[in-house]
């Protein structure tokens, strides 16, 4: 099977926000889609290893915010490259913005906010697919939504040319194309973009 075929599927990039027991948290996901218009329902897919996954499963509530072309690497590093189990991701947010459902959203980097209530959770093994009703939605910016291809071309820093010479190895996520650089790929590594695990990464031969 040619896994590169998966790169031909278009993906967006979204901030998924939840709250449980007074704790706000968020992660980056790349699978979200409107599935029906009457009633208005969305589908998202989230890796079970994300703390936000557990919070959505338990509280049946989330905000979904498409990242826009105003985004830099910062929201990816902040929400995607670290876990809410270790840090409070909203601790140093410059303003505290909450939608009517009490959940957080961001002052920048996003262009809309969908307030959702989960109606169905489908166990897909590594991930859970959530079907949700959109209770309210608002546009926050006219900046276009980013695709994963846009992220690769315009946001993600280009890998250092001499990284191989410096002894660093590179692994590519066969699901979304994300490249990890380092001495070793940790066993518990989760792709910061698509949330797939180590088994979906392949070593790039120098
Ligand atoms: Fe990935």
pLDDT digits (tens, 9 = 90+) for 163-189: 555 678 899 888 878 889 889 999 999
Q: Kindly give the distance from the C-alpha atom of residue 173 to the centroid of ligand 1, in angstroms, as a whole number.
A: 5
Query: Percent of the chain scored above 90 by pLDDT?
Result: 68
Please give the torsion angle defined by the CA atoms of residues 87, 91, 94 and 96, in that order, rounded to the nearest 10 degrees: 120
Same domain for 39 and 118, yes or no, is yes
What is residue 166's predicted lDDT score, i.e. its pLDDT? 67
Same domain for 198 and 142, yes or no, is no
Q: Kindly give the distance from the C-alpha atom of residue 95 to the centroid of ligand 1, in angstroms, as a whole number.
A: 30
Q: What is the pTM of this model?
A: 0.84
What is the rounded CA–CA span in Å between residue 20 and residue 113? Answer: 19
Phi-psi group of 130: left, alpha or beta (phi > 0 → left; psi -120 to 50 → alpha; rest → beta): beta
Q: Kindly give the distance from the C-alpha atom of residue 176 to the centroid of ligand 1, in angstroms, as a whole number.
A: 4
Residues with Cβ–ion distance below 5 A, ligand 1: 173, 175-176, 178, 191, 193-194
CATH number of the domain to which 199 belongs: 2.20.28.10
Same domain for 79 and 8, yes or no, is yes
Q: Kindly give the distance from the C-alpha atom of residue 64 to the centroid of ligand 1, in angstroms, as a whole number.
A: 19
Same domain for 92 and 19, yes or no, is yes
CATH number of the domain to which 90 belongs: 2.30.110.10
Same domain for 36 and 129, yes or no, is yes
Cβ(121)–Cβ(64) below 8 Å: no
pLDDT digits (tens, 9 = 90+) for 46-86: 999 999 999 999 999 999 999 999 999 999 989 998 889 98
Same domain for 171 and 138, yes or no, is no
What average pLDDT score do residues 81-100 get?
91
Let me know how long the chain is.
206
pLDDT digits (tens, 9 = 90+) for 4-57: 888 888 899 999 999 999 999 999 999 999 999 999 999 999 999 999 999 999
Q: Kindly give the distance from the C-alpha atom of residue 187 to the centroid of ligand 1, in angstroms, as a whole number.
A: 15
Total domains present in the chain: 2
Same domain for 97 and 185, yes or no, is no
The parent domain of residue 190 ranges over 157-206
Same domain for 78 and 127, yes or no, is yes
Query: Percent of the chain scored above 70 by pLDDT?
Result: 96
What is residue 14's predicted lDDT score, i.e. its pLDDT? 98
Q: Kindly give the distance from the C-alpha atom of residue 200 to the centroid of ligand 1, in angstroms, as a whole number.
A: 8
């Amino acid at each position: 099977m040619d896994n590169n075929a998966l790169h031909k599927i278009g993906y967006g990039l979204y901030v998924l926000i939840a709250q449980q027991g007074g704790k706000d948290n968020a992660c980056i996901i790349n699978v979200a889609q409107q599935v029906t218009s009457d009633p208005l329902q969305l589908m998202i897919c989230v890796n079970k290893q994300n703390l936000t996954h557990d919070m959505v499963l338990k509280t049946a509530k989330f905000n979904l915010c498409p990242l826009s072309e105003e985004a830099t690497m910062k929201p990816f590093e902040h929400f995607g490259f670290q876990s809410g189990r270790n840090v409070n991701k909203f601790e140093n947010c410059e303003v505290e913005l909450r939608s009517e459902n009490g959940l957080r959203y961001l002052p920048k980097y996003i262009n809309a906010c969908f307030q959702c209530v989960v109606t169905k959770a489908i166990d897909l093994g590594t991930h859970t697919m959530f079907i949700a009703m959109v209770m309210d939605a608002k546009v926050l910016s006219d900046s276009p939504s980013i695709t994963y291809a846009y992220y690769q071309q315009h946001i993600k820093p280009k890998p250092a040319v001499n990284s191989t010479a410096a002894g660093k190895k590179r692994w590519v996520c066969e699901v979304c194309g994300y490249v990890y650089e380092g001495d070793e790929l940790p066993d518990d590594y989760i792709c910061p973009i698509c949330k797939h695990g180590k088994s979906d990464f392949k070593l790039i031969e120098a």
